[in-house]
Amino acid sequence: MSSTPDNQTAPAASVLSLRRVAIDTYRENVAYLHRDCAIYRAEGFQALSKVEVRANGRKILASLNVVDDPCIVGSNQLGLSEDAFAQLNVEDGHPAYISQAEPPSSIPALHHKIAGERLGREDFRAIVRDIAEHRYSKIELTAFVVACNQGELDREEVYFLTDAMAQVGRRLDWREHPVVDKHCIGGIPGNRTSMLVVPIVAAHGMLCPKTSSRAITSPAGTADTMEVLANVEPPFERLCDIVREHRGCLAWGGTSDLSPADDVLISVERPLSIDSPGQMVASILSKKVAAGSTHLLLDIPVGPTAKVRSMPEAQRLRKLFEFVASRLGLTIDVIITDGRQPIGNGIGPVLEARDVMRVLENDPRAPMDLRQKALRLAGRMLEFDPDVRGGDGYAIARDILDSGRALAKMRAIIEAQGAKPFDHNQPELAPQRFEVCAQQDGVIIGIDNLLVARVARLAGAPKVQGAGVDLLKKMGDPVKAGEPVYRVYAAFPSDLEFARQATVRSAGFEVGERDAIPPVYVEM
């Protein structure tokens, strides 16, 4: 009898009828087989076995769940969870084949990493390819993430990992130079600078195809806030047209298949709250390189409740970004910024969109800190333009903003992506509210980024667009006892109550003497 791989499953009559099982298993492919299915019995599958499903010329990997209810799957059917079913692009009833999945070929390399060894370029390539193809189980993924975190990758390994991640999936080539992008490592509520920087830089004429994420653990990502104003998921080809015509966009990057391994890794890093420097660098830079960026402005906020809490830590992270970017041929400008408190007033999609539009419209109610930071970042980005003299960027950016050209560019981008009705004078905020007030007279000397973000999230942001926190006072502002410091908006009484309980445990701000305000050591 032949022993070629193609014949391996031949002895079993392994054709089944596909069935969409309407269960959302969140990025994890699950296959459902009835316990009486002849193939289940013959192949010696076990629950949670990794299986390979082939149909319509495609193949996917899935974890197996065994079912005893013919209403879910019959004994000659092969059920697939929603995501998995969609990947095969077929109708219910399509014939499909199932077999034991071969173990991923990079598993020996994974074991070396678990044992604390240093990996080479090919090892990382093999691992990243298997991860992007969903060949790793959650357990194997976690093992990789924890092993890389605990042993700490050296900077050469971080480069190998980043490069491998950028190589997998789609790679864009804009056929011009420079292609600029900006990125913040996150952790600061509000801080919606991209929605100001992109129109300023695009109005100047630089190509800035900005894609952003939705919130993962924060109360809003740029994509969530932009979604208040415009469609953020135009089809990929349409997005490319928009970028070419308007020199910029503000879209969600989730479906663009840029560095797909990153999305898979995040599904494990997020629940573990692991955010090691190596993984952060690989995640950010692989996406930028895959997106065709040639120049990147990177914002590292530092503060007692920011992701990076000290200047030496920020400098180490800056060096790592610079080393890896240089190996990748990416020009990078790393800026360490003031992360002592949220940037802007609103936290949550609608509240943040309000702040952004007020800055663009030069409204007197616009938060000055958001305007200032956006102008400085945009200024540094403009200096990527070989025709802009070092030091001139800020003035150019301010001119573009003050003249209304940034607003016009933003309106053009919004129209192109598909505008939604929004009036920043009457933002649609969630109806349930409460205010958190100062207990004593004094000056606001600290605002806890983490707590304020948590309260906004408990209140329903970003799922409820109008939910969140509106800061009425910022650091340095005087307050009187009983005066409100921030207001919480929620759609549902239960959400409001969760948020309120969080503020009871800790209000999230401190009142004291003006000279107790922690100093800023950073450029801006």
Which spans of this chain sit near its own copies (rule: CB under 8 A)?
Answer: 1, 3, 8-9, 11-12, 21-26, 28, 32, 35, 42-44, 46-48, 65-69, 71-72, 82, 111, 114-116, 137-140, 142-143, 145-147, 149-151, 268, 271-274, 460, 463, 492-495, 497-498, 500-501, 504
Radius of gyration of the chain (CA): 25
Cβ neighbours of residue 348 under 8 Å, at least 6 residues apart? Answer: 219, 220, 456, 459, 461, 462, 465, 466, 467, 468, 469, 489
Name the minimum Å distance from CB 69 to its own copies.
Answer: 4
Q: Which of the following is catalytic: 275, 387, 470, 477?
A: 275
Give residues with Cβ within 8 angstroms of 236, minimum separation 6.
255, 256
Nearer to its own copies, 204 or 457 (CB): 457
Cβ 12 to its own copies shortest distance, Å: 5
- In the bound state with its own copies, the residue whose beta carbon lies nearer, of 68 and 387, is 68
Decide whether 32 or 160 has the Cβ nearer to its own copies. 32
Closer residue to its own copies (CB): 249 or 507: 507
Q: Which is nearer to its own copies, 51 or 444 (CB)?
A: 51
Q: Where are the beta strands (DSSP E) in 145-229?
A: 180-184, 208-212
Q: Which residue from 74, 134, 83 is spatially nearest to 104, judged by alpha carbons?
A: 134
Look up tokens 């509520």; give the residue.
Answer: 189
**Pairing between β-strand 248-252 and β-strand 95-100 as defined by DSSP bridges:** unpaired
Question: Active-site residue 275, yes or no?
Answer: yes
Are 423 and 218 a contacting pair, CB within 8 Å?
no
Question: Pairing mode, if any, of strands 95-100 and 478-479?
Answer: unpaired
Please report the DSSP string for 302-317 in residue order. Answer: ESTTSSB-SHHHHHHH
Minimum CB distance to its own copies, residue 208 (Å): 31
For residue 79, count other CB atoms closer than 10 A to its CB.
25
Tokens at 110, concatenated: 């994974």
Question: Residue 446 or 462: which CB sits closer to its own copies?
Answer: 462
| Residue 92, CA distances (Å) to 15, 30, 78, 88, 511 in order | 14, 16, 10, 11, 62
Q: Which residues pair with 159 in a beta bridge?
A: none
In the complex with its own copies, the residue whose CB is nearer, 104 or 393, is 104
Taking the complex as a whole, how short is the minimal distance between the CB of residue 59 and its own copies, in angstroms? 20
- Residue 483 CA to residue 66 CA, distance in Å, equals 59
Q: Quick one: tokens of 31?
A: 């296959």
The residue (of 133 and 392) whose beta carbon lies closer to its own copies is 133
Q: How far is CA 256 from CA 113, 237, 408, 425, in A?
A: 30, 10, 27, 34
CB closer to its own copies out of 73 and 366: 73
Phi first, then psi: what are they for 85, rounded to 5°? -60, -45
Main-chain phi, psi angles of 426, to 5 degrees = -135, 65
CB 92 within 8 A of CB 13: no
How far does CA 452 lie from the centroid of its chain? 19
Long-range contacts for 154-159 (Cβ within 8 Å, ≥24 apart)? 154/118, 155/320, 155/323, 155/324, 157/118, 157/119, 157/124, 157/278, 158/277, 158/278, 158/281, 158/282, 158/320, 158/323, 158/324, 159/323, 159/324, 159/327, 159/328
Whether 48 and 63 have beta carbons less than 8 Å apart is answered as yes
User: In this structure, what token pair is assigned to residue 154?
Assistant: 């050296």
* Alpha-helical regions (H) of 230-292: 236-246, 260-272, 277-290
Interacting residues of 372 by C-beta distance below 8 A, sequence separation 6+: 524
Place of tokens 């104003």: 229
The nearest distance, CB 230 to its own copies, in angstroms, is 25
Residues whose CB is less than 8 angstroms from the CB of residue 505 and which lie 6 or more positions away in sequence, other chains included: none
Shortest distance in whole angstroms from residue 25 CB to its own copies: 6
- In DSSP terms, 250 is beta-bridged to 210
The set of catalytic residues is 275
